[in-house]
């Protein structure tokens, strides 16, 4: 288990039980991470968990205005959004939830599998493409708009540089339109 995963695991129970304690512990724990991307990943994961718990709780909560768990979840979401903004994430834009991250990661894996069938003698192309797709999977903390722009930019860059052929690029764009880009606002 990575340090990031361990930190998320150690903090996630506080998301629905004690927002103030979560805020203090999160502040302490984030000091241990140097890279902003790691900090963002932790906060984003906790925010997604909090939002999922809020949705589940709202379905069973009889009085959300006086419910301490509802208030705590709202406060936790507020603290986590503030933390993302401190880290430079534009939270006014739509971000990925856990389900979308999983779905898109799976679709990207499917794309790699299809491209693997086409690679025949183009191992360098496949390996480069695989590396780029794996990197994209680590960047879900970006807004959907920025992530989509990065994805399309990587494909264009690899096509222009000759790393992937125009036919592979067209096939990739076709798959993306049908499988991945449906998650993005136009």
Q: Is there a contact between 169 and 65 (Cβ–Cβ < 8 Å)?
A: no
Q: Residues 82-93: what's their mean pLDDT?
A: 80
pLDDT given at position 186: 62
pLDDT given at position 170: 80
Q: Is there a contact between 169 and 152 (Cβ–Cβ < 8 Å)?
A: no
For the stretch 12-58, pLDDT in tens is 988 888 999 999 999 999 999 998 889 998 998 898 889 888 888 88
Cα 52–chain centre separation:
14
Residue 117 has pLDDT above 70, yes or no: no
Residue 148 has pLDDT above 80, yes or no: yes
Indicate the average pLDDT of the chain: 82
pLDDT given at position 158: 81
Q: Is there a contact between 95 and 141 (Cβ–Cβ < 8 Å)?
A: yes
- The pTM of this model reads 0.61
What share of the chain in percent tops pLDDT 70? Answer: 91
pLDDT given at position 118: 61
Maximum mean pLDDT: which of 19-33, 85-99, 114-128:
19-33
pLDDT given at position 63: 85
- Which residues lie below 8 Å from residue 164, measured CB to CB, with a gap of 6+? 125, 128, 129, 155, 158, 172
Task: Find, among 139, 147, 112, 137, the residue nearest to 127 by Cα.
Answer: 112
Residue 123 has pLDDT above 60, yes or no: no
């Amino acid at each position: 288990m990575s340090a990031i995963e361990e930190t998320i695991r150690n903090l996630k129970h506080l998301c629905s039980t004690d927002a103030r304690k979560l805020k203090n512990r999160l502040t302490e724990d984030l000091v241990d991470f140097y890279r902003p991307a790691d900090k963002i990943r932790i906060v984003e994961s906790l925010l997604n968990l909090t939002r999922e718990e809020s949705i589940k709780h709202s379905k069973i909560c009889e009085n959300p205005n006086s419910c301490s768990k509802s208030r705590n979840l709202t406060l936790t979401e507020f603290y986590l959004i503030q933390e993302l903004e401190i880290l430079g994430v534009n939270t006014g834009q739509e971000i990925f939830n856990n389900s979308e991250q999983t779905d898109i990661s799976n679709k990207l894996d499917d794309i790699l599998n299809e491209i693997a069938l086409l690679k025949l003698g183009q191992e360098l192309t496949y390996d480069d493409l695989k590396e780029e797709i794996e990197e994209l999977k680590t960047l879900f903390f970006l807004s959907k708009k920025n992530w989509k722009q990065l994805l399309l930019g990587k494909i264009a860059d690899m096509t222009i540089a000759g790393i992937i052929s125009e036919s592979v690029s067209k096939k990739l764009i076709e798959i993306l339109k049908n499988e991945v880009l449906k998650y993005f606002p136009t």
